Each structure stands twice: as C-alpha cells, then as structure tokens.
Amino acid sequence: MLKKISSSVRGVRVFKAKVPGPARPRGLPRARAVRAHSTACLFGWATFACALLSLEATLAGASATDDARLKQALARYPEADTNKDGVLSEEEARVFLKNLRGSKAGAGQNAKKNATVTFAQLEPTWANVPYGAHERTVLDFWKAQSDRPSPVLVFIHGGGFVSGDKSKARSDRLLSECLERGVSYAAINYRYVTSAPIQDVLQDCGRAIQFIRSKAEEWNVDKTRLAAHGGSAGAGASLWLAFHDDLADRQSPDPVRRESSRLVAAGASACQFSYDVFEWDKMFANFKNAYREIEDRPGFYGLKTEEELRGPLGQKFRAECDMRGLISRDDPPVFLNSAMPGGDITSRGHLLHHPLHAKAIYERCREMGVVVVAQIPGVNIAPGKDDPPSLREFIFKHLKVAPERVRAGEGSATK
C-alpha cells in the first residue's frame, strides 16, 4: 500500500491560590503578555493531607463493579484520568493514589517554598472552528509563535466514541510545552457513534487533519509535520490515522478533501487494537463471558442485521476499522503506552484497555518493520535503551523539534 503525503497563544485564563512560600514562574516564550508557570503543588501541607485522606476514603473498598466510587473520585480528581477518556478506571485510581502517597513525604517542605500556585488554562487562538457539517465536527487551534511554518500536534479525546470532548486539552501540560517549543496544537471533536457509524467517525478525524493542512497559510502550518495523540478512543483514532491509506482525493472540488490525512507520528495511550468486533472475539475468546458485548453489533457500522455484518459490506466496513490489519511497511512511527495490568480480565474497563491491545499493535509493527516504541509493563514491554522514554520526547523527536525552538529547514517527510 503506497501512501504519500501532499506537498500564541491568544490568551490565558489564570487562577491563583495563595499558599505559604515563593513560586518561580515558568514562562511561555514570546507569548503575548503571558507568563504562566507549571503547578508546583496543589495544596498547602494541611490541605494536601486532607485531600489524600479524602481520596483514600473514596477509593477504599472500590471494586471492579463499584462505578459510583470511581465516578466520585473522577469528579474530585480529574487529573487521575491519565488516558483522558472521561472514565476513571480502578487501575488509574490506584496508580494515582499511589503517586499521591509518594508525594506526601515531601509535600510539607515543598509547600514552604511556594508562595503562589498558578493554574493556567490556555485559550486557543481559534476556538470551535467547523471542519465539517455536523455540530460536533469542530476543533480548537493554538498557533505557536514562529517566523517559519510550525509543526502541529493534534489531540483526539477519548470516551468510547459516545462521550468526551476536546476541552481536556486546555489544561494539559503537553499543550504548553508544545507552544514553548514552537509546535502548534489542535484539539478536535468528532461525531459520536450514536449519530454516525464508526467508520464515518474515524473519517471525521481524518478530515480534521486535512482541514488543518488546508489552513497552512493562514495558520502558519508546516504540512509535512503533523502528528496526533490521544487516549482510549482517541488512541485508536490516532492509530487509525497512522495506518490508514491517505484520504486525499486530488480531483475533489472540495479543497479540504484534496489535502493529505497522513501523519509523521502517532501516540496512543490505553489503545484498542481494532474496531472489527470479530477480531475482538478472537483476541478475547477466553474471556467472552467477562464483559458485556456491544448490544447492536451491526448498528456499530450502520448495518441492520448480523447477516449484513458478515456479508461483503460488513467485511469492508470491519476491515476499514481494523487498525492492526491496516499496518503496512510505509507507516509512520507510533508510541504505545498501557498502564493496565495483564492477566485475566476483571472488568469491562480492563477489557477495553487491556495491554493485549497495545501488544498486538506492537508485534504487528515490528513484523512489518514500522518503528514502534512501547511502554506496556503488563506484558513486560519497555522502550529500548536508545528509544525516547516518553510520549512527549517521542513526538518532539519525530516532529523534528529542537530543544528550544523548531530548527529552520527541518521536517520534510514523505510517505
């Protein structure tokens, strides 16, 4: 499969809370009248201790079936949702609590060193820009300040294709780091599967990439350097963009459709390996009774009967959504991260984010010669000695970003 690529932040909402001690601001270079720094601590020592006890109480006794406690924890601690899919899994909660406990010892000393905690929410340069006809096909764009066309990182939210939205990106540290280093940033919404079949939802994500390229001159975009990342459903969509053939139609009267949908890199946290329901049957055959299956499997693809799903049209749609099956030798590098434990499936959330998903993508990439870096402790897979150890470093490497600013003349990439 030959796939080819075609040839500021405007404002910051800042909320301040006083705690004992001085804080050192971390600036956003060249942003207009903006000096914001990363959060040094969340509470003073006393408040921190109360928060820790509260979270422990919330999670105490939580089980795979105790969704109420996890929802309560998510409402109070949204940062615990590490894959940004809008759902707090038991594993995410346990990891967050462990990290919070680990921070407890030094929190008292840190509080004394900080006078002002600054919570910065970066406002996009352009917000809710329509890239399609549906009310949910909109995106936010943060334009990096640069004399030359800038690379772009696109965030695709999670939520099982039935919930979630792009607002998660606004308080993400990676957004501010991108702008600091001359990388523009976009966050997209897409239709839910409640209003469109899954193959069309994925096409929405492809059109968003095409639309950003169509704005290259106005938004100062380097068309040759676009990457995407996301968690859960956003991870699957990012992998789909990385592995799918170019959606560009050079003969289309629509200038957006004439643009390429290809990426130079993709990052996937807590991904799924395929959206072909029959492939899931094979992968998790031993755990078939451990989860609730999709109630309307044909409807997931816009079909009406199981016979249609198994017929030629169903086969076409399923193949279109099978990320592992789409992988070919000329695909861009991908970074995979999965924090879930391996072993027997304990809940539906565990099934949806089981490390076997990421492992399947990892193994297929290696088989096909596609560059892949993975952090999947549940199946004993870790980055190699010379690999970027984190998604952040991986993305910046493949967007060809220098330590502080984008280097002039770098970034040409072809597929």
pLDDT digits (tens, 9 = 90+) for 253-279: 999 999 999 999 999 999 999 999 999
Task: Give the pLDDT confidence score for residue 7 in this predicted structure.
Answer: 39
Distance from the Cα of residue 329 to its chain's centroid: 23
pLDDT per residue over 390-404, tens digit each? 999 999 999 999 865
First to last CA, the chain: 10
Lowest average pLDDT, out of 51-60, 174-183, 267-276, goes to 51-60
Task: Give the pLDDT confidence score for residue 79 in this predicted structure.
Answer: 61
Q: How far apart are CA 146 and CA 132, in angstroms?
A: 28
Domain residue spans of the chain = 11-119, 121-398
Pinpoint the alpha helices (H) of 353-408.
355-368, 391-398
Quick check: 106 pLDDT over 60? no
Task: List CB contacts of 311: < 8 A, sequence separation 6 or more.
Answer: none
Q: How far apart are CA 130 and CA 40, in angstroms?
A: 36
Task: List CB contacts of 254: < 8 A, sequence separation 6 or more.
Answer: none
Question: Which tokens in the block code for residue 360?
Answer: 């399947």
Which amino acid, one-letter code, is at 225? R
Task: Give the pLDDT confidence score for residue 286 in this predicted structure.
Answer: 75
Q: How far apart are CA 299 and CA 168, in angstroms?
A: 29
Question: Which tokens in the block code for residue 244?
Answer: 């799918």
CA distances from 284 to 277, 301, 357, 398 (A): 11, 21, 10, 33
Distance from the Cα of residue 59 to its chain's centroid: 26
Q: Coil, strand or helix: which one is 271?
A: coil
By residue count, the chain amounts to 415
Higher-pLDDT residue of 325 and 101 is 325
Task: List CB contacts of 315: < 8 A, sequence separation 6 or more.
Answer: none
**Strand (E) positions, 270-413?**
334-337, 372-375
Topology of the domain covering 121-398:
Rossmann fold (3.40.50)
Instruction: Categorize the per-residue pLDDT at 81 as very low, low, confident or very high, splitting at 50, 70 and 90.
Output: confident
Q: How far apart are CA 263 and CA 241, in angstroms?
A: 7
Q: How far apart are CA 353 and CA 359, in angstroms?
A: 11
